[in-house]
Each structure stands twice: as structure tokens, then as C-alpha cells.
């Protein structure tokens, strides 16, 4: 496939992707194109030039000249501040090679407004997101929407440090468990996005994972799971510690079948009903009172039970199918292993 020029990359790939994310490139109040980065520090510009020259000297592919202090796209907040910039490259160039100039633009723009903007680097195919100075750049599926950007800005300004969130001793009460939780929190605070915990059997891996989830939910608060539903039918919940970020509903089974309610709330229509009650602020939430005000269809209990029975049968058959597939895969691997070891003999009848 022939490489597109930077101009064609913008028109054919980048701008449609921005539009898909909810940014109107034809609205100058929402998207600015070729925005000058005014008042830059000459010393900082010389440092940038040195970094770009080093890329050339080391043989890295970099098919553009020194930039003239222009950010390709600026994504604006409603108050006129820049929430993020987009650095565009032609399709044949790795967008990560624009890191030096992107970091420079972000630093200079921060001097002229109340916040440090986020950054995207893209060649139309790959999109990298970068919170300069706080986290490593990472490959993402596409540009974030205006609401996503507001949410990220809110989190960055208001997020509680992980070290300041207390560990619920009702979940993890052993010192080594709490040490593991804190070590993972330190890794996340340092910009890591993944961590591996190795613990012996019976030492409380599940409790450590639950404690981490409780802490991360407490500091995130972005509503990404505001309408996530889970069905738990276990006596273990009696007297259990419930995170303040969770809503627990006990169903009166004389009126409603729990499986019917679960299916109703997790289907597309039920999620739309819940979504109407999620707050539209940067920190999205839904309260127990909001859920109680939702009017849900309530067929006769006999029909609910019939529906639940059908769902149960379907899930049972699906579980049997998964088990059959697992056994078939295991048998196949066993036969291959024996064949490679020469333990299988083929008898050919005359």
C-alpha cells in the first residue's frame, strides 16, 4: 500500500478519526488546526533541535525538517483552554519519533494556561496517547472524546494518591498481604500499568486482588463501571465488607426473580435505562436512589421463573459445550505429545 503524504494522512485518516470520537474539525471552537506555539523559550527550542539532530545521527527514520513551532491540531475545552494536542505524521513514519517536539509543545502550551494538555501522536494508523511528565506514552485504539478528555483532566487534578487510601483490614489483615498491595500501588503511582504478584497457595491472593480493586475503585471514580452489574448468590456475603463504590440490592423473591432482574439490568435496554441516570459531570456516578426511581417491566412471577429457567438451561448447555471443547483440546494435545514421543503405533491391515 503506497505511503500517504502528511496532508493526505490528515484528510483521509486523522480527521475522520477525530470526527468519530466526537471532535468537529470544522468548528474552530472545538478543534484548532496548525496552531502556533507562541512565546517559546529559545533555549528549549535549541534543546529540541539537538534531540532531533541526534535522531538523524543515530540513523533513526525521521522524514521531516525541524518544526516551526506549530501544533498540528489543538483540541479545545469549552472554556477555550487546550485539552490535548495532536501531532500528525505521514503513514510511513512511526509517530513515536515525534516525541521530542510533542513534549516541547505540551510544555510550552502549559505556560500559557492553567493546565498541562495531553498529547496524541499518530500516523493515521497508530495512535499513541501521552500524559507528558506523568505517564509513559501508550498505544490506544483511537482518539478520546471531549467527555473522555474532561474526565481525564478531572482525574488528574482530583485523584487521591494511592498511598493515601487506607487498606480495608476486613479484606486483607495480614502484614504481607498489605505489603503486596502497597508495592503494587507504588508501581502504579510510578507510571506502571501492569504488575505481577506471586504468592503461594493459601496465602490470600484473592483477598489481595480484592483489596487492590477496592483501592483503585476508590481513587478512579470515573463512572466507567457505573452501570456494571454482577449477580452473586452466595451465603458468603452475609456480614461481608461491601466497598462504598458498590450498590448491593437484595431481591424479594416473592415479587421478582433475581436472574430475571439481572438479565433485565444487563441487556441493552436496561443499560440505556441506567445510563439516563448516570450523572453527566466529569466524575460519573449513579446512586441507589437513582436506581430505585427506574420503572422496570414486571411480568407475573410465573413468567419470570419460566424466563429464568430458560436462561439457566441455556447457560448449562453453554457450559457443557465449553467443557466438551476443553476435553477435545486436551485429548488433541495428549495425542500430539504421545506421537512426538513415538508412543503411538499405526496398524495397517492388509
What DSSP assignment string belongs to 237-258? GTT----TT-------TTT--H
Any domain includes 123? yes
Q: Specify whether 152 is located in the same domain as 176.
A: no
Any domain includes 179? yes
For the stretch 89-142, pLDDT in tens is 888 888 988 888 888 888 888 888 888 999 999 999 999 999 998 888 999 989
Contacts of 191 (CB under 8 A, 6+ apart): 134, 135, 136
- Beta-carbon count within 10 A of 135 CB: 16
Q: Specify whether 79 is located in the same domain as 193.
A: no
Q: Specify whether 129 is located in the same domain as 14.
A: yes
End-to-end, the C-alpha distance of the chain in Å comes to 56
Q: Specify whether 102 is located in the same domain as 65.
A: yes
Any domain includes 251? no
CATH code where residue 54 lies? 3.90.1570.30
Q: Specify whether 202 is located in the same domain as 58.
A: no
pLDDT at 118: 96
Q: Specify whether 188 is located in the same domain as 330.
A: no
Q: Specify whether 150 is located in the same domain as 11.
A: yes
pLDDT at 223: 46
pLDDT at 161: 79
Q: Specify whether 193 is located in the same domain as 212.
A: yes
pLDDT at 293: 77
pTM score > 0.85 for this model? no
For the stretch 330-339, pLDDT in tens is 887 777 777 7
Which structural domain range is residue 71 located in? 6-158
- Beta-carbon count within 10 A of 210 CB: 17
Q: Where would I find the H helices in 58-98? A: none
Any domain includes 194? yes
Tell me how many degrees the CA angle 157-161-167 measures, rounded to the nearest 5: 145
Final residue in a domain of this structure, among 220, 246, 270: 220
Q: What is the largest CA-CA distance in the chain?
A: 91
Q: Specify whether 168 is located in the same domain as 145.
A: no
Give the length of the chain: 350
Q: Specify whether 79 is located in the same domain as 168.
A: no
pLDDT at 86: 95
Any domain includes 27? yes
Q: Where would I find the H helices in 169-300? A: 175-189, 205-220, 258-266, 268-275, 288-292
Contacts of 113 (CB under 8 A, 6+ apart): 81, 82
Number of structural domains in the chain:
3
Of the candidates 185, 157, 162, 181, the residue with the CA atom closest to the CA atom of residue 171: 181
Any domain includes 228? no
Q: Specify whether 149 is located in the same domain as 188.
A: no
Any domain includes 286? no
Q: Specify whether 134 is located in the same domain as 41.
A: yes
pLDDT at 97: 84
Final residue in a domain of this structure, among 220, 236, 258: 220
pLDDT at 257: 82
Final residue in a domain of this structure, among 185, 220, 255: 220
Which residues of the chain, if any, have pLDDT below 70?
A: 1-2, 35-70, 214-249, 278-288, 344-350
pLDDT at 222: 46
Any domain includes 234? no
Amino acid at each position: 500500500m503506497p505511503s500517504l503524504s502528511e496532508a493526505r494522512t490528515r484528510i483521509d485518516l486523522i480527521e475522520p478519526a477525530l470526527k468519530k470520537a466526537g471532535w468537529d474539525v470544522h468548528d474552530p471552537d472545538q478543534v484548532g488546526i496548525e496552531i502556533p506555539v507562541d512565546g517559546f523559550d529559545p533555549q528549549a527550542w535549541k534543546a529540541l533541535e539537538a534531540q532531533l539532530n541526534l535522531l538523524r545521527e543515530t540513523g533513526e527514520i525521521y522524514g521531516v525538517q525541524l518544526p516551526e513551532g506549530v501544533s498540528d491540531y489543538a483540541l479545545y475545552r469549552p472554556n477555550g483552554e487546550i485539552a490535548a494536542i495532536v501531532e500528525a505524521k505521514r503513514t510511513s513514519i512511526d509517530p513515536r519519533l515525534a516525541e521530542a517536539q510533542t513534549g516541547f509543545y505540551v510544555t510550552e502550551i502549559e505556560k500559557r494556561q492553567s493546565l498541562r494538555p495531553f498529547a496524541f501522536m499518530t500516523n493515521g494508523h497508530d495512535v499513541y496517547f501521552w500524559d507528558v511528565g506523568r505517564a509513559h506514552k501508550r498505544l490506544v485504539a483511537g482518539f478520546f472524546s471531549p467527555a473522555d478528555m474532561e474526565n481525564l483532566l478531572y482525574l488528574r487534578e482530583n485523584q487521591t494518591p494511592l498511598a493515601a487510601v487506607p487498606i480495608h483490614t476486613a479484606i486483607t489483615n495480614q502484614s504481607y498481604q498489605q505489603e503486596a498491595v502497597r508495592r503494587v500501588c507504588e508501581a502504579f503511582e510510578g507510571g506502571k500499568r501492569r504488575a505481577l504478584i506471586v504468592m503461594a497457595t493459601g496465602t490470600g491472593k484473592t483477598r489481595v486482588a480484592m483489596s487492590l480493586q477496592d483501592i483503585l475503585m476508590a481513587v478512579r471514580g470515573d463512572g466507567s463501571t457505573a452501570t456494571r452489574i454482577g449477580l452473586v448468590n452466595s451465603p458468603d456475603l452475609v456480614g461481608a465488607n461491601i466497598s462504598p463504590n458498590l450498590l448491593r440490592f437484595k431481591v424479594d423473591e416473592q415479587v421478582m426473580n433475581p436472574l430475571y432482574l439481572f438479565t433485565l439490568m444487563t441487556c441493552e435496554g436496561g443499560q440505556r435505562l441506567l445510563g439516563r441516570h448516570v450523572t453527566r459531570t466529569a466524575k460519573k456516578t449513579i446512586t441507589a436512589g437513582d436506581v430505585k426511581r427506574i420503572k422496570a417491566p414486571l411480568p407475573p412471577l410465573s413468567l419470570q421463573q419460566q424466563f429464568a429457567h430458560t436462561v439457566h438451561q441455556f447457560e448449562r448447555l453453554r457450559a457443557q459445550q465449553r467443557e466438551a471443547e476443553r476435553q477435545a483440546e486436551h485429548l488433541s494435545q495428549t495425542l500430539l505429545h504421545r506421537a512426538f514421543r513415538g508412543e503411538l503405533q499405526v496398524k495397517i491391515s492388509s
